[in-house]
Amino acid sequence: MEGSLLEPILYSVKAIAILDSDGNRILAKYYDKNVFPTPKEQRTFEKNLFNKTHRANAEIIMLDGLTCVYKSNVDLFFYVMGSSNENELILMSVLNCLYDSVSQILRKNVEKRAVLESLDIVMLAMDEICDGGIIIDADSSSVVSRVALRNDDIPIGEQTVAQVFQSAKEQLKWSLLK
Amino acid sequence: MSGFKRDKKEEEDGGGNPFQNIEKTIVLQEARIFNETSVNPRKCTPILTKLLYMLNQGEQLSAKEATDVFFAMTKLFQSKDVILRRLVYLGIKELSSIADDVIIVTSSLTKDMTGKEDLYRAAAIRALCSITDATMLQAIERYMKQAIVDRNPAVSSAALVSSLHMTKIAPEVVKRWVNEAQEAVNSDNIMVQFHALGLLYHIRKSDRLAVTKLVARLTRTMSSKSPYAVCMLIRIAAKLIEEEGADSNSPYFDYIEACFRHKSEMVVYEAAYAVVNLNRTTNRELAQAISVLQLFCGSPKPTLRFAAVRTLNQVAISHPAAVTACNLDLENLITDSNRSIATLAITTLLKTGAESSVDR
């Protein structure tokens, strides 16, 4: 591993991924065309990364020449990858932003099911955090304010029976908790 | 009870996963709903989400399939639903490299980027630049310049980042926006400052005098609020030291050393990394950087310990003697729960360690 001065460029993130508890991709973005150019190579890398990280809660690992920082919760694994010479703390700040944004979007309910239910918003948030490898924003509250959370007040006529049930159940739950 | 259990199991198996078993042909078929005269966001949003999810999973579309769905998607511009519109931008970016005639959405996106709705503007700029080529860039040049100096930080950042992407295909055009970038670098927003500095440096990097001036001005005036911008400035300063062969009395050195006292760990580490990787670092400066890294070795944060030991490992190759001061800290890291840290600590000790430490 040869040390060298870092080139002053803005492109610092090579990839971002969210995997489930089987190591399958929920969302992933690769920003550098030279790093795992085909979907197949990406899958192999993700499987490998997952196998190395899903038991050890160690936060950082070097794999295939990339520095990967990660974080997990219930059945989700969040990863941010950068070159092996990149400032690890910058990558960590991106990971924290990703995690906190998702957590705010899902109202602290960070699990696979909730991510899939709000997948559109989570995709928008990922897009607000990093563009083509450049960190756009690393402050989760500003990211969340930019993705325009859906408002829940769907007119009653357009709700499905399930939605009506759900909101009634929640109201009942809250009234019992009081 | 058993019924409940079964339900639960079914749920776990994907009953609750709307994206299980999606098929390309079906999704593309469903996407035809976009062509209907009145757009229903509640129906179209889930379908577009499904389409984006499918692309994200690595599904490949032929040029014809991509073009068809791209054109269907352009119909969604009729809707004013914010989320749907933003998803359309994502779709445009995803398909811009596969579909034909993507420039068809130029006017819609230009309208959104100059419109009133702030939630559209920034994202529209980024989508627009993904479909723009060198000749078309001149047509939207005026709007890009305006956007760079926009008061809304999201808009300004989006324009700066997109400009930087555009330097790959139209460097001559982007060069003309240097005044706007210059203005943006004085912004109060930490990200705008960072992006503007990145663009300015990229435009000017072959002009040594301009870079020197830029660094001289920014090292004096730039607020230290933006750790990202400061990291970038450290990298530029280090590069200048290397190129000019400056000695340790240079103002660039002073700036980097001052960053050891920055309140952001990210910046402190960046400064230490720069110093140890300079060719001309003197022993005094090296000692200072190493004591910073030594401090990080005891951090409760694994990432910080990793960063420190990785850098010490690099120093140990060129200056093993300087690292011996950290041997005790490194020995503590051998049993670190993070295996990467432990491995790096061991290999570093092998370069610096004396016999006494090998015994332990």
Using a CB-CB distance cutoff of 8 angstroms, which residues of chain A are in contact with residue B122? 146
Confidence of residue A155 (pLDDT cuts 50, 70, 90): very low
Q: Is the pLDDT of residue A156 over 50?
A: no
Task: Let me know if residue A170 belongs to a domain.
Answer: no
Q: Is the pLDDT of residue A119 over 50?
A: yes
Whether B229 and B200 have beta carbons less than 8 Å apart is answered as no
Question: pTM for the complete prediction?
Answer: 0.89
Q: How many domains does chain A have?
A: 1
What is the distance in angstroms between the Cα of B119 and the nearest Cα belonging to chain A?
A: 6
Mean pLDDT (chain A, rounded):
86
pLDDT at position A154, please?
45
Average pLDDT over residues A99-109: 92
Question: Among A12-16, A28-32, A38-42, A147-151, whose mean pLDDT is lowest?
Answer: A147-151
Using a CB-CB distance cutoff of 8 angstroms, which residues of chain A are in contact with residue B313? 1
Confidence of residue B169 (pLDDT cuts 50, 70, 90): very high
Task: Let me know if residue A34 belongs to a domain.
Answer: yes
Task: Let me know if residue A2 belongs to a domain.
Answer: no
- 3-state SS assignment for residue A67: strand
- Taking only the tens place, the pLDDT of each residue in B210-267 is 999 999 999 887 766 789 999 999 999 999 998 888 777 788 988 999 999 999 999 9
Average pLDDT over residues B15-43: 84
Task: Let me know if residue A22 belongs to a domain.
Answer: yes
pLDDT at position B6, please?
46
- 3-state SS assignment for residue B7: helix
Question: In terms of residue numbers, what domain contains A108?
Answer: 13-149
Average pLDDT over residues B115-121: 88
Q: What is the residue whose two structure tokens read 């445009």?
A: B92
pLDDT at position B317, please?
86
Q: What is the residue whose two structure tokens read 């490299």?
A: B97
Phi-psi region of B101 (alpha: psi -120 to 50; beta: other; left: phi over 0): left
* Interfacial B residues in 267-326 facing A (CB < 8 Å): 269-270, 273-274, 276-278, 301-304, 306-307, 310-311, 313-315, 317
Of the residues A10, A21, A113, A129, the best mutation for testing chain B's interface (the one with the most B CB atoms within 10 Å of its CB) is A10
Q: Which residue has the higher pLDDT, A77 or B280?
A: A77
Question: How large is the ipTM?
Answer: 0.91
CB contact under 8 A, A39 and B52: no
Using a CB-CB distance cutoff of 8 angstroms, which residues of chain B are in contact with residue A28? 56
What pairs with residue A83 in β-bridges? A66
Task: Let me know if residue A169 belongs to a domain.
Answer: no
Task: Let me know if residue A70 belongs to a domain.
Answer: yes
pLDDT at position B358, please?
53
Q: Which residue has the higher pLDDT, A72 or B119?
A: A72
Whether B191 and B157 have beta carbons less than 8 Å apart is answered as yes
Q: What is the residue whose two structure tokens read 């989508």?
A: B127
pLDDT at position B121, please?
94
Q: Is the pLDDT of residue A130 over 60?
A: yes
Confidence of residue A42 (pLDDT cuts 50, 70, 90): very high
CATH of the domain at A110: 3.30.450.60
pLDDT at position B62, please?
94
pLDDT at position B23, please?
87
Pairwise CA distance, residues B229 & B197, whole Å: 7
CB contact under 8 A, B198 and A9: yes
Whether A132 and A14 have beta carbons less than 8 Å apart is answered as no
pLDDT at position B3, please?
44
Q: Is the pLDDT of residue B125 over 80?
A: yes
Tell how many helices (H) and how many strands (E) occur in chain B: 22, 0
**Alpha carbon B296 to chain centroid, angstroms:** 24
- 3-state SS assignment for residue A78: strand
Task: Let me know if residue A7 belongs to a domain.
Answer: no
Pairwise CA distance, residues B163 & B349, whole Å: 46
Average pLDDT over residues B1-29: 64
Task: Let me know if residue A164 belongs to a domain.
Answer: no
Q: Is the pLDDT of residue B108 over 50?
A: yes
Average pLDDT over residues A9-29: 95
pLDDT at position A79, please?
97
Of the residues B43, B50, B83, B128, the best mutation for testing chain A's interface (the one with the most A CB atoms within 10 Å of its CB) is B83
Radius of gyration of chain B measured on its C-alpha atoms: 27
- Taking only the tens place, the pLDDT of each residue in A44-85 is 999 999 999 988 778 999 999 999 999 998 899 999 999 999
Tell how many helices (H) and how many strands (E) occur in chain A: 6, 7
Could you tell me which chain A residue has the CA closest to the CA of B152?
A146
